[in-house]
Structure 1
Amino acid sequence: MKRLWTPAWIARHVAMVVLVVSFLGLGWWQINRASDGNSISWGYAIEWPVFAAFVFFVWWRELRHTLRSAADGPPAGGDEAGEAGEEQSGGDVMAGAALSSSGAPTGVRRPVRVARASAVPAGGPEDADLAAYNRYLAWLNANPGARPGDYPG
């Protein structure tokens, strides 16, 4: 919970309150204008509360993300957070989360590298149309000023 009272989070809380109150106030102002006969203000009267709801949604999502990452705690396993992506005690595969000086994860993780199998087996039979098309592309690459009609094949 202390994590939500840092200077950055206090600024986020204040910004959320100011924006939500301002957007709802602007929505109320548009309702007053619409009731005075300005028909286009009905659309704005709906739009401003939607903006306020969006600001609240983003603030709530960031709050939940911060609380969830704080609850995860440091990874189990002893040494530096799975250097080669070894399996951790929760059944997760963690690809080396960076640790702060206190040993808590910083939330920055390295991408997991996965080897991909080739669609065409190495040395296997190649489709004749695909081979002809690849030869055509190689010829076009070798002759950049040539037109497709100049292809000798």
Structure 2
Amino acid sequence: MPPNPATYDTASESTAGPGTLDGMKWLWTPAWIARHVAMVVLVAGFLGLGWWQVTRAAGGNSLSFGYAIEWPVFAGFVVFVWWREVRHARRGPREEHPSPPSSAAAGPEPAAATPAVRRPVRVTRVPAAPVAGAEDGELADYNRYLSWLNANPGASPGDYPG
């Protein structure tokens, strides 16, 4: 009976046939060996710290009961992330499905796609020219205050004479 194509995963199969380890050789590259070692070290360390907290909790430290639960949760999270990365790498890059051909009336497609991140546009700002004879009194006082603060860098705002 052939497998159901909707649920059948052929990523681990190779030309040598199903059930062989030939499809898993990519797990033994230097980068993956480092990931495996890091996972084992972290899980062992987190479980060891959890056991240490259990012994402290048994000795009367009530706060250690929470930590005794927390460290194994951290170890489980490391295993989860490692397993997810293995599955993600095993699937390989996703194939994008080509869009259906458009009609000739739709026009030509653009030559290059719009980039996802655009460079910022630098714009020089020119201060607005004040209208002749219509200067705001409060604005003029505030500008004098700011220029006094700029001229007296060590002074506090309470020292302003105006």
Q: TM-score under structure 1 normalisation?
A: 0.46
| Structure with greater strand share of residues | 1
State which structure, 1 or 2, has the greater radius of gyration over its C-alpha atoms: 2
